[in-house]
Amino acid sequence: MNSTDVTKGFTEQFGKQAEHTFFAPGRINLIGEHTDYNGGHVFPCAISLGTYAAVGTNEDNAFRLYSANFPKVG
């Protein structure tokens, strides 16, 4: 999946172009798992896998979410 796939899926699902697209890379901790939120030292690094999102406004100010990972649920 890439940003082109995400914007195409947004258009197919909602019938209009996405106004913004985002990508947040995943990360792995080489050392220090579960210590970062306790103030400890960690050595994380980004990976190429991550989460894509496309957003746009609608007329009724409601949030509508859709996941390509769960097409039957939406």
Amino acid letter, 26: G
Q: Given this model, what pLDDT does residue 1 score?
A: 84
Which residue spans within the chain are E strands per DSSP? Answer: 20-29, 44-55
Q: Output the pTM of the full model.
A: 0.71
Q: Given this model, what pLDDT does residue 74 score?
A: 57
Segment 10-44, tens digit of pLDDT? 999 999 999 999 999 999 988 888 887 888 889 98
- Read off φ and ψ for residue 50, nearest 5 degrees: -175, -160
Pair 47, 26: CB distance under 8 Å: yes
Q: How far is CA 47 from the centre of its chain?
A: 14
Mean of per-residue pLDDT scores for the chain = 88
